[in-house]
């Protein structure tokens, strides 16, 4: 399963480290958020949505289980 956050990140060809640096966190936190092991804060969700030009919404980041694709990544 691919989370919406991972889908948009890989579509844009960005690494976890690149996105983490852009939003002020570390790659470990980004990985945990992408994999559903950690919930993003509302502030982090807003930063991520802005970073991706609102191609992904804050709701998709905060509640990825509602939007997760079951298609192969």
pLDDT digits (tens, 9 = 90+) for 34-65: 999 999 999 999 999 999 999 999 999 999 99
Asked whether the beta carbons of 47 and 40 are under 8 A apart, the reply is: no
What pLDDT score was predicted for residue 43? Answer: 98
Q: pLDDT band for 72, please (50, 70, 90 cuts).
A: very low
Asked whether the predicted pLDDT for residue 71 surpasses 70, the reply is no
What residue ranges define each of the domains in the chain, with the CATH number in brackets?
4-66 (1.10.260.40)
């Amino acid at each position: 399963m691919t989370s919406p956050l991972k889908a948009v990140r890989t579509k844009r060809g960005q690494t976890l480290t690149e996105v983490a640096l852009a939003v002020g966190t570390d790659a470990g936190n980004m990985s945990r958020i992408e994999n559903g092991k950690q919930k993003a804060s509302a502030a982090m969700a807003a930063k991520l949505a802005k970073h991706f030009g609102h191609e992904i919404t804050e709701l998709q980041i905060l509640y990825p289980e509602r939007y997760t694709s079951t298609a192969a990544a």
